[in-house]
Amino acid sequence: MGKRIDGKAISAEVRARVKEEVTQMKAAGITPGLAVVLVGDDAASHTYVRNKKKACVETGIYSEVYTLSAAATQQELMALVQSLNARPEIDGILVQLPLPKGLDEDAVINAIDLTKDVDAFHPSNVGHIMIGDYSFLPCTPAGIMEMLRHEKIDIQGKRCVVVGRSNIVGKPMAMLLLHANGTVTVCHSKTRDLAGICRQADILVAAVGKPKFITREMVKPDAVVIDVGMDRDENGKLCGDVDYDAVEPIASYITPVPGGVGPMTISMLLQNTLTAARLHHGVTTAR
């Protein structure tokens, strides 16, 4: 039976570390600041933003939330980003995606100051991740790496399979596993014999966005299974990309949904905001 990786507990440890360092920085007259921009009325996005605001309060990070209507123009959004770029008390800028139709996400991402890009979506930061010389990591892949470290799961030499090739999760996840000396295969909708490739994985990361897509037959016994999915099953119940009940008995480690990767994502955003504040103020840390 697989060991359940408790994302809530690991996330709480990360937040405690962030809170401790924020307290130290405040004592030195520095308060890390995060600005979150939300455009439109997507219900999931509003929930995420509320959770981010709450996490900032919990750890002592100063935060501002800007809510624009779905009718906001590209010019209005770009002007807001530029104004936040110019403000020294704002260390991190996060524009909640997806944006409403008609708005150019790439242009917005490109407009964010590189040193305030706490989502690590700017092409220059993506390039730094590629070569292994980075300040920020995308929050979800960073959270997964933190979970693997916490559980002392060794990546070196392991066969790692990432199912999904998004810019937000799949591609950076593959890079981080590669930097940790894993042997990485990225699968996607055009992959032939997907099940056969998944069965070779010592570490399997599912980030495909399809409920219960990874079945027991696709998982090698004793594999580590990381589920990035946030889906709804046929009964409307929250579930992941992995058929948890079927896979859990044969996995060595597995993340649940909810309570697995999800909590880690916001905690790593806090960590990135702290990193940005360090960069802006020339602060070093023992960690």
Q: What positions carry a catalytic annotation?
A: 52, 96, 119
Please give the Cα distance from 100 to 192 (Å, whole number). Answer: 34
Element (H, E) at 253: strand 253-254
Residue 34's nearest CA partner among 112, 99, 98, 108 is 112
Please give the Cα distance from 81 to 183 (Å, whole number). Answer: 39
Please give the Cα distance from 151 to 204 (Å, whole number). Answer: 15
Residue 207's nearest CA partner among 178, 227, 183 is 227
- Helix, coil or strand: residue 228: coil
Please give the Cα distance from 181 to 43 (Å, whole number). Answer: 39
Taking the CA atoms of residue 191, residue 195, residue 199 and residue 201 in that order, the dihedral angle to the nearest 10 degrees is 30
Please give the Cα distance from 1 to 232 (Å, whole number). Answer: 25
Ordered DSSP codes for 143-188: HHHHHHHHTT---TT-EEEEE---TTTHHHHHHHHHHTT-EEEEE-
Whether the CB-CB separation of 239 and 202 falls below 8 Å is answered with no
Whether the CB-CB separation of 21 and 285 falls below 8 Å is answered with yes
278 is known to lie in a ligand binding site: no
166 is known to lie in a ligand binding site: yes
Residue 58's nearest CA partner among 287, 266, 281 is 266
Annotated binding site: 164-166
Which residues define the annotated binding site for NADP(+)? 164-166
